[in-house]
Amino acid sequence: MKVFKFGGASVKDADGVMNVAKVLETQGFENCLLVVSAMGKTTNALEKVVELYFSRDNYRNQISVIKENHIGIAQGLFEPTHEVFGEISLFFDDIESFLRRNKSPNYNFVYDQVVSCGEMISSKILSEYLNSAGFTNQWLDARDFVKTDNTYREGVVNWSQTEENISALKQNLSYVTQGFIGSDENNFTVTLGREGSDYTAAIFAYCMNAEAMTIWKDVPGVMTGDPRKFENVTLLSHISYEEAIEMAYYGASVIHPKTLQPLKQKNIPFFVKSFVDPLKMGTKVGNSADNQQTESYILKENQILMRISTRDFSFIAEEHLSMIFSSLAKYNIKISLMQNTAISLELCLEDKYNNIDSLTRELSETFKTQVVKNVSLFTVRNTDLSNLSKFYEGKKVLLEQISQRTLQMVTQ
């Protein structure tokens, strides 16, 4: 069994959907499970629906716009009488029905029930188109297979139940399913975090003992830097699981951080290839004597620098660290970089849920805090530590750290 994942950019319009079939012509579709993301910027558009709903604004117009966009895509793929148009309407009817009936004030719960519909609709359109193009497949609802706890927007996978469910699938068929989503024990939808479709593909690959997993992107593979942010970047043709995990942890956007561990555990080869040029080799992640350790660059923007110190200039002791980390976990704020001295702790933070003000208020009851918003974390992997001056030119460095041929600096 092979597992392919196609992201939103690959199915953003009718031409993109048709191109998926062209990619499959070059790769083969026998015994293949295909995971697909929401189309184009649909996730962002559905997030706007949730925002409008909670601000008691007119969210129905936003839903209508998204619906018309998907109908427009389907009109470029199917005859007007095709049943897929009824399916699309049902999905959007379900969103409106849920929001009319909902009594929960839990933003994250509502978010997951609404935003997940993007993947449901895209996978249904793609599945129907592939069937019409001769790529016979079964459409699966990923929520029937990927089981999680009820941590909405950041679901934790119940691996034993998930593996039991997925391993029951027949290996001699081909399937199309959704990325990004699972369900809890009450069958409410739970999303796996933004960009979680890669993780979904890895979950299915792990549970099906896949021969390989491929993510299809609009770039040639894993590059030495994001070409939109860095000049003269090159393709990394072979990297180890460990190097890819490190790059993902530091913020390389081409690979989701949680994707790699399941694949590494079963030594499943992982490829990142271009849906524009599917015959090109792309990047292979796995165990290989050809693995590269080439200087690479990663930029994480929209970070927050927080400086924490004790009010009486006593040491930052273990009980202080425990309190700080507990608060970070409470507000679901992640640490990108940490550095401590005897009397202070400096943290570069990622605040996906806009909780930094609440965290600051809580910590300020015990500590002195200083917050600098909208900073960037610049990381250089596999660098020559004897020649670092070039990386400091033109930058206002607020914090830096060097370890094992990795340079990191927080800049403003």
Q: Is 194 annotated as a binding residue?
A: no
Q: What are phi and psi of 221, to 5 degrees?
A: 160, -155
Burial 146-179 (b: 16+ CB within 10 A, else e): bbbebbbbbbebbeeebbeebeebeeeebbbbbb
Structure confidence at residue 341 as a pLDDT band (50, 70, 90): confident
Per residue in 180-204, pLDDT (tens digit) is 999 999 999 999 987 789 999 999 9
Q: Is 5 annotated as a binding residue?
A: yes
Per residue in 343-383, pLDDT (tens digit) is 899 999 999 889 999 999 999 999 999 999 999 999 999 99
pTM above 0.75, yes or no: yes
Report whether 409 contacts 336 (CB < 8 A).
no
pLDDT, residue 290, reads 79
Per residue in 314-335, pLDDT (tens digit) is 888 899 999 999 999 999 999 9
Could you tell me what percent of the chain has a pLDDT over 70?
Answer: 100
Q: Is 119 annotated as a binding residue?
A: yes
Report whether 338 contacts 325 (CB < 8 A).
no
Q: Is 43 annotated as a binding residue?
A: yes
Q: Which long-range contacts (CB under 8 A, 24 or more apart) does 362-370 make?
A: 362/327, 362/330, 363/308, 363/324, 363/327, 366/311, 366/323, 367/308, 367/309, 367/310, 367/311, 367/320, 367/324, 368/308, 368/309, 368/310, 368/311, 369/306, 369/307, 369/308, 370/306, 370/307
> Per-residue pLDDT for 404 more than 90?
no
pLDDT, residue 287, reads 84
Residue 372: CB atoms within 10 A of its CB come to 15
| 232 secondary structure, DSSP code | S
Structure confidence at residue 252 as a pLDDT band (50, 70, 90): confident
pLDDT, residue 285, reads 94
Domains of the chain: 2-217 (3.40.1160.10), 296-411 (3.30.2130.10)
In the Cβ-directed half-sphere of 107, how many Cα atoms lie within 13 Å?
A: 11
> Per-residue pLDDT for 207 more than 90?
yes
pLDDT, residue 387, reads 86
pLDDT, residue 63, reads 98
pLDDT, residue 6, reads 98
Higher pLDDT, 303 or 288: 303
> Which amino acid does the sequence have at 135?
F
pLDDT, residue 256, reads 77
> Per-residue pLDDT for 24 more than 80?
yes
Q: Is 228 annotated as a binding residue?
A: yes
d(CA 22, CA 10): 12
Structure tokens at 172: 């001699």
End-to-end CA distance of the chain: 47
Structure confidence at residue 384 as a pLDDT band (50, 70, 90): confident
Structure tokens at 327: 């608060």
